[in-house]
Amino acid sequence: MNYPYWQIGIPGGLLIGCVAVLHVFISHFAVGGGAYLVLLERKANREHDEGLRAYVQKHSVFFALLTLVLGAVTGVGIWFTIGLVSPEATSSLIHTFVWGWAIEWVFFFVEIAAALIYAYGWNRMDRAAHMAVGWVYFVAAWASLVIINGIITYMLTPGRWLQTRAFWDGFFNPTYWPSLVLRTGMAVVLAGMFGLITGLRVASPVRERVVRYAGMWVLLGTLFLVLPARWYFADFPPEAKAYFATVLPAMRHVIDAGMLAAAVSFVLALVFAVAKPAWLRAPLVAVILLCGFVVIGSGEYGREVARKPYVIANYIYSNDLRLAGFANFGTSGFAANAKWIDRSGVSQQAQGHEIFLMQCGACHSAHGYRAMAPRVQGWDAPFASEMLLHLPVMRGTMPPFAGNQQDRAAVAAYLASLSPPEQRGTAAADLGRLVFAHRCSMCHTVGDKFRPLAMAGTDADTIDGMLSQLDILNPEMPAFHGNDAERKALASFLASGAAFAGTR
């Protein structure tokens, strides 16, 4: 492996997610908020409403402070984070899209200049010129979304780029348009949500007008989101759709939470902003903004998970290993070729830990986020070593293991060391369920959606016979590791048809 692994105790992917969601939250506001400002300014000018104009001026300062500092610097933060966590993928993105970013930078530059001039120019520019600057801001901000959207969607659906390696093929990829429309809608929603913050802080009657106006942005924006969201998900890669439907209940919960949050903020905006603006209070605005954050967060999380096991689909895996040349690891070994691994006489288990960090550390930790310890409960080294051959078919759609038998043995030794000691003396009735949990549940459920085993009705002896030759029945499966008692208990459990769905 080319780069060192940055050990910070949490998977790097989690850090990227945190920085990115914060940035996306503010940057979408930065896009929609531009239109919000200038349209409201136009309204104030047309209606000769100086109170409203004073509000827009106040909002423009809040807007500039939030977007130019927190928005802009967290954007740089994403650069920093992806370079630290996925340098190989970052380098690849840079080599493919540096001119896209250069164009985005032009818009960013114009955006910053316009935002400052707009915020400072209220009392020194004539009104038409000031509004023109507002429009310049909005166009530049939206144009930077137009650019970055091409790069983000490329990572999920690189489309023809995989064959041609051509900039425009990667840029205008299969999910480009639905994502652009979706993000534009989200920008409208967030413009309204942030408008509520400042709207609450001005005196009546401007307060009610502004709150109602901002509320309408939330409502219309949310309604607008419905169709492009469907369009966007319809264009997802089929594997990703299947994955969403079956694999992780947690994933489904995240998407459901996003939809619920959109619904909650819609209702709150309808009641407390549009219908009864006088009732709106700060805690309600906080709840609405939190909902907006959840919507953004679930959308970004969904997109990232849909990309699994890649960071750039069919090109670079989520652990920063390139598809090209992947097979070489199997012959010449991973540790032997990884530049940063300590090979000077460390124990097999320590070596396994290093390989684990490099190959699994982007998403897993030993005991924290997506912890391995509970996942490898009941595993011994030989079983772990065998399971490492089947990573892509496991729940979670992982990249295949990169390495030879020696590498695998090292990681297996490390994983087995994480497994908590077995509880002895388990009652026979529970043993089958326990063996299922330890040996089967990373790839199967009973009575649930993910690769269900419907074996009720088959007698235990037949199942027992099948368990003895799993790897022959299906080469994707490991041989059964366990003693006779465990095998028989598992067979009875499967024959009983008791449900087992939980992820570990």
Partner 1 sequence: MSNFIPLPTPDPMPLPAPLWLLLTLLLVTFLLHLLAMNFTVGGVFITSLCSLRRKRDAMAGQLASDLLRILPTSLAFTITLGVAALLFVQVLYGNLLYASSILIGAFWMAVIPVLIVADYTLYYSKSHPNRTGPLWFSLLLLLAIGFVYVNNFTLMLTPQRWLEMYRHSASGLNLNWSEPSLVPRYLHFMLGAFAIAGLVVFVVGVWKRSTDYGRWMLRHGSHWFVAPTVLNFVVGMWFLLALPRPVLLDLFTGGPLAASLIGIGMLLPLAAIVHVVLAARTEKTLLHARLAVATALLTLVVMVAIRQVVRSAYVGSFLRIHDLSAKPQWSVIALFLLLFVAGLATVYAMLTSYFGKSGGELPAN
Query: Which residues sit at the interface with partner 1, rule CB under 8 A?
Result: 2-9, 19, 61, 65, 68-70, 72-74, 76-77, 79-81, 83-84, 87, 90-92, 94-96, 98-103, 105-110, 112-114, 116-117, 119-121, 123-126, 129, 132-133, 136, 140, 165, 167-168, 322, 324, 339-340, 342-344
How big is the chain, counted in residues? 504
Separation of alpha carbons 71 and 62, rounded Å: 12
Provide the minimum distance between the beta carbon of 205 and partner 1 in the complex, in angstroms, as a whole number. 27
Nearer to partner 1, 22 or 218 (CB): 22
- Show Cβ contacts of residue 105 under 8 Å, excluding neighbours closer than 6 positions: none
How many helices and strands, by DSSP H and E, does the chain display?
20, 2
Whether 184 contacts 145, CB under 8 Å: yes
Provide the minimum distance between the beta carbon of 312 and partner 1 in the complex, in angstroms, as a whole number. 12
Provide the minimum distance between the beta carbon of 140 and partner 1 in the complex, in angstroms, as a whole number. 8
Structure tokens at 348: 């097999």
Provide the minimum distance between the beta carbon of 303 and partner 1 in the complex, in angstroms, as a whole number. 22
Provide the minimum distance between the beta carbon of 358 and partner 1 in the complex, in angstroms, as a whole number. 11
> Is residue 121 classed as helix, strand or coil in its secondary structure?
coil
**328, HSE (Cβ side, Cα atoms, 13 Å):** 11
Structure tokens at 86: 């996925």
Nearer to partner 1, 25 or 436 (CB): 25
Provide the minimum distance between the beta carbon of 290 and partner 1 in the complex, in angstroms, as a whole number. 21
Cα separation values, 97 from 75, 81, 102, Å: 16, 18, 8
Provide the minimum distance between the beta carbon of 95 and partner 1 in the complex, in angstroms, as a whole number. 4
Provide the minimum distance between the beta carbon of 168 and partner 1 in the complex, in angstroms, as a whole number. 7
Structure tokens at 34: 């531009």
Residue environment code for 460-476, b if the CB has 16+ CB neighbours within 10 A, otherwise e: beebbebbeebeeeeee
Nearer to partner 1, 80 or 369 (CB): 80
Nearer to partner 1, 162 or 477 (CB): 162
Nearer to partner 1, 155 or 295 (CB): 155
Provide the minimum distance between the beta carbon of 127 and partner 1 in the complex, in angstroms, as a whole number. 12
Separation of alpha carbons 423 and 234, rounded Å: 46
Nearer to partner 1, 7 or 314 (CB): 7
**DSSP H/E element including 59:** helix 50-65
Separation of alpha carbons 340 and 92, rounded Å: 20
- Show Cβ contacts of residue 126 under 8 Å, excluding neighbours closer than 6 positions: none
Nearer to partner 1, 137 or 383 (CB): 137
Nearer to partner 1, 80 or 279 (CB): 80
Whether 338 contacts 290, CB under 8 Å: no
Provide the minimum distance between the beta carbon of 92 and partner 1 in the complex, in angstroms, as a whole number. 6
- Show Cβ contacts of residue 239 under 8 Å, excluding neighbours closer than 6 positions: 397
First-to-last C-alpha distance (Å) of the chain: 30
Q: Is 18 exposed, middle or buried (0-12, 13-18, 19+ CB in 10 A)?
A: middle
Structure tokens at 180: 């652009």
Nearer to partner 1, 196 or 338 (CB): 338
Residue owning tokens 């595993």: 379
Nearer to partner 1, 166 or 278 (CB): 166
DSSP 202: S
